[in-house]
Structure 1
Amino acid sequence: MLKFFSGLIVLVLLFSFVLVNDKERKKSKDLFNGKDFNGWIKYIGMPHKSLQLSLPKDSLGNYKEPIGSNDFLNIFSVVQEDGEPAIYVSGRVFGTISTDKEYGNYHISLQYKWGEKKYAPRLQLPRDAGLLYHAGDRPMQNRVWPLAQECQIQQDDCGDYWKIHTSMAQIPAQFKDSSWVYAPGSEYVWFGDHVNRPRCNKNPDNEKPQGEWNTVEVYTSGDSSVHVVNGKVVMHLKKLSLSENGIKKPMTKGRIALQSEGAELYYRRIVLEPIQQLPSSLRQLF
Structure 2
Amino acid sequence: MKTTRRGALTRLAATGVATVALPHVASAASRAPAAAPARAAADGWQPLFNGRDMAGWTFFQDGVGQQDRDGVVDVHDGMLHLLGPRYRGPAKAGMGYLATDREYENYHLSLEYQWGTRRYEPRTLWKRDSGILYHNPTGRELLWPDSIEYQIMERNTGDALPINHRAIPAISQGGLPGWPEDLPGNTQYAPQVDAGGSLRQWIRADGSFDTLEGWNTVELIAQGDKAAHIVNGRIVTALYGLQRQDPADRSRYIPLTRGRILLQIEAAEIMFRNVKIRQL
TM-score under structure 1 normalisation?
Answer: 0.71
Alpha-carbon distance in structure 1 between the residues aligned to 2:107 and 2:272:
19
Greater CA deviation, 186-195 or 147-156? 186-195
Partner amino acid, structure 2, of 1:133: Y
Contact 2:177 2:238 in 1 (8 A): no
Cα deviations by residue, 1:69-94 (Å, 9 ceiling, x for unpaired)? 110112112022xxxx1000107321
Identity %: 31
Alpha-carbon distance in structure 2 between the residues aligned to 1:205 and 1:273:
26
* Aligned partner (choices 231, 238, 241) of residue 239 of structure 1: 241
Alpha-carbon distance in structure 1 between the residues aligned to 2:215 and 2:201:
27
* Aligned partner (choices 17, 36, 40) of residue 53 of structure 2: 36
Are 1:201 and 2:204 counterparts? yes
Aligned to 2:165: 167
Alpha-carbon distance in structure 2 between the residues aligned to 1:135 and 1:106:
14
Are 1:214 and 2:207 counterparts? no
Contact 1:158 1:229 in 2 (8 A): yes
Contact 1:163 1:192 in 2 (8 A): no
Q: CA deviation at 1:125?
A: 1.3
Q: CA deviation at 1:131?
A: 0.7
Alpha-carbon distance in structure 2 between the residues aligned to 1:188 and 1:182:
18
Segments ≥4 residues shifted beyond 6 Å: 194-197
RMSD of equivalent CA atoms: 2.4
Change (3 A) 1:182 1:249: farther
Alpha-carbon distance in structure 2 between the residues aligned to 1:243 and 1:162:
15
Gapped regions of structure 2 (runs ≥ 5): 1-38, 85-92
Partner amino acid, structure 1, of 2:96: G
Contact 1:115 1:211 in 2 (8 A): no
Aligned to 2:125: 124
| DSSP-derived class of the 1:77 partner | strand
Cα deviations by residue, 1:160-181 (Å, 9 ceiling, x for unpaired)? 00012x111110358xxxxxx9
Higher fraction of helix: 1
Alpha-carbon distance in structure 2 between the residues aligned to 1:220 and 1:183:
15
Q: CA deviation at 1:130?
A: 0.4
Aligned to 1:280: none
Contact 1:182 1:200 in 2 (8 A): no
TM-score under structure 2 normalisation?
Answer: 0.72
Contact 1:167 1:192 in 2 (8 A): no
Alpha-carbon distance in structure 2 between the residues aligned to 1:191 and 1:41:
31
Alpha-carbon distance in structure 1 between the residues aligned to 2:61 and 2:138:
14
* Greater RCO, 1 or 2 (C-alpha within 8 Å, sep 6+): 2
Are 1:265 and 2:258 counterparts? no
| DSSP-derived class of the 2:148 partner | strand
| DSSP-derived class of the 2:258 partner | coil
Alpha-carbon distance in structure 2 between the residues aligned to 1:227 and 1:254:
17
Aligned residue pairs total: 220
Greater CA deviation, 182-191 or 87-96? 182-191
Are 1:230 and 2:232 counterparts? yes
Partner amino acid, structure 2, of 1:189: Q
Alpha-carbon distance in structure 1 between the residues aligned to 2:42 and 2:188:
37
Contact 1:75 1:93 in 2 (8 A): no
Change (3 A) 1:270 1:192: farther
Cα deviations by residue, 1:50-102 (Å, 9 ceiling, x for unpaired)? xxxxxxxxxxxxxxxx211110112112022xxxx100010732111111011
Contact 2:177 2:236 in 1 (8 A): no
Cα deviations by residue, 1:3-30 (Å, 9 ceiling, x for unpaired)? xxxxxxxxxxxxxxxxxxx986263220
Alpha-carbon distance in structure 2 between the residues aligned to 1:74 and 1:241:
36
Contact 1:120 1:262 in 2 (8 A): yes
Partner amino acid, structure 2, of 1:157: N
Aligned to 1:88: 81
Cα deviations by residue, 1:162-212 (Å, 9 ceiling, x for unpaired)? 012x111110358xxxxxx9854774531363797620110121112x231
Q: CA deviation at 1:121?
A: 1.5
Partner amino acid, structure 1, of 2:204: N
Partner amino acid, structure 2, of 1:29: Q
